[in-house]
Amino acid sequence: MSDWQPKRFWKQAQAEVCEGGFTVKLDGRLVRTPAKAALTVPTLAMADAIATEWDAQEELIDPRTMPVTRGANAAIDKVRTQRSEVIALLAEYGDSDLLCYRAAGPEGLIQRQAEGWDPMLDWAADTLGARLFVGEGVMHVTQKPDVLSKLTTEVATFDDFALAGVHDLISLSGSLILALAITKDAIAVEDAWLLSRIDEHWQIEQWGADEEAAAAELTKKTAFQDAARFYQLSLT
């Protein structure tokens, strides 16, 4: 793998109004996506955030420090061109949602999962009309086709940019229900993240923390928070 990184060549990044929304220019030059599409985003807040990321780059450009830019690139280059496939992929999480797969033991973990996850499944049933069944262990739990259809419809309501954020919320948590609850302000981002990590945190309590695992979790948590922020920026 090459260690080459592009160098900063501009003095100022600035968000501007453009046809179809907002964009970012570097010393007057339009920012484009990796696929060379125009970087046109739906809100000024998102464009401002992208401009701030570009202005924060020093001598070399580090995409790892540019989550909003990456999210916009994904929305334009990937979600927009493969929208139906992305919707189908994310809707499938309803058929294998983390919240539906419960431990057989010990009793403390069973209780913790029930206390954390049952209210979210109740919320989905009451708010979305989608009651998911729960099973024990890792064997597949079959869900009703009409329930999965309702969840697919929910996913399809998001525009390309919101969907890019929701994609990461779902994939990082393993739960379509938690992601949808975040988008409907039914749960705080931090609380949703903690619910998605009940099993892992239980194991840490029993056996102690592992430095490498802790670093990996922090990376995932940061990405989860970035995804939630990107989703909000798509609406503001």
Q: What is the pLDDT of residue 58?
A: 87
Average pLDDT of 156-175? Answer: 98
d(CA 38, CA 96): 36
**pLDDT tens profile 106-137:** 999 999 999 999 999 999 999 999 999 999 99
Coil/strand/helix, residue 158: coil
Q: Over 60: is that where the pLDDT of 1 sits?
A: no
Strands 29-30 and 135-136: unpaired
**pLDDT tens profile 173-229:** 999 999 999 999 999 999 999 999 999 999 999 999 899 999 999 999 999 999 999
Q: What is the pLDDT of residue 88?
A: 96
| Preceding amide of 106 cis, omega within 30 | yes
Q: Over 50: is that where the pLDDT of 86 sits?
A: yes
Residue 145: band (very low, low, confident or very high) from pLDDT cuts 50, 70, 90: very high
State which H helix or E strand residue 169 sits in.
helix 160-173
Q: For the chain, list the domains and their CATH numbers.
A: 13-79 (3.30.2180.10), 83-235 (1.10.3580.10)
Residue 235 Cα distances to 60, 140, 202, 226, 227, angstroms: 31, 35, 35, 15, 13
**DSSP conformational letter for 14:** E
Coil/strand/helix, residue 138: coil
Q: What is the pLDDT of residue 209?
A: 86
Contacts with 196 (C-beta within 8 Å, 6 or more apart), sequence order: 98, 172, 173, 174, 175, 178
d(CA 178, CA 182): 6
Residue 5: band (very low, low, confident or very high) from pLDDT cuts 50, 70, 90: low
Q: Over 90: is that where the pLDDT of 4 sits?
A: no
Q: What is the pLDDT of residue 2?
A: 47
Contacts with 11 (C-beta within 8 Å, 6 or more apart), sequence order: 27
Instruction: Give the chain's mean pLDDT.
Output: 95
Give yes or no for a contact between 28 and 12, defined as CB atoms under 8 angstroms apart: no
**pLDDT tens profile 29-57:** 999 999 999 999 999 999 999 999 999 99
Q: Encoding tokens for residue 44?
A: 């000024």
